[in-house]
Amino acid sequence: MTERHETTPSGAALVDAQSHAEGFQKARDARRTELVEDYLELIADITDTDGEARQVDIARRLGVAQPTVAKMLKRLAEEGLITQRPYRGVFLTDEGRALAEAARRRHQLVEAFLKALGVDEAVARHDAEGIEHHVSDETLAAFERFLTDKG
């Protein structure tokens, strides 16, 4: 029996089913962690400047309602990524801080790469916000090599 190679209308070879499924699984996994990372990175930014992150500030910065933030903060606390103190703000645990810093580093690297390609600074900042959660460590390393070789 001969192996069948399917192609797209443009003639490009289709990815095999297993690889295709793995790609979709990676994207689903990234979407699940994206919101957590965004919250942690924002909490880190606010606590670094204000000493603590208040729920109202998080809601305002994310453009969402306070009950939405409350629900996510509960989840982050259950996962051991933040602590909340009555009549005080939200604080990152060591694990939460590490995840926030990793997300921030990925964001900065993707943004720097896009700007090095000539993308406008504001566009690069916005695009990096989505890309940072979906890019692999291998691709980030390539971005970093590119930036190092370019500089």
pLDDT at residue 1, rounded to an integer? 46
Give the global pTM. Answer: 0.75
pLDDT at residue 92, rounded to an integer? 96
pLDDT at residue 111, rounded to an integer? 96
> Taking the domains of the chain in order of start, what are their residue ranges?
33-150
Measured N-to-C along each axis, helices 17-50 and 55-62 cross at an angle, to the nearest 10 degrees, of: 130
Under 8 Å between Cβ of 55 and 70: yes
pLDDT at residue 28, rounded to an integer? 58
Q: State residue 98 phi and psi, 5-degree precision.
A: -60, -45
Residue 57 has pLDDT above 50, yes or no: yes
pLDDT at residue 150, rounded to an integer? 79
State the Cα angle at 149 between 147 and 151, rounded to 5°.
65
pLDDT at residue 122, rounded to an integer? 95
Under 8 Å between Cβ of 128 and 111: yes
Question: Hey, which CATH number is domain 33-150, 1.10.10.10, 1.10.1040.10, 3.40.120.10, 3.10.350.10?
Answer: 1.10.10.10
How far is residue 5 from each of residues 10, 15, 64, 73, 147, measured CA to CA in Å?
14, 9, 47, 48, 38
pLDDT one-digit tens code per residue, 79-108: 999 999 888 899 999 999 999 999 999 999
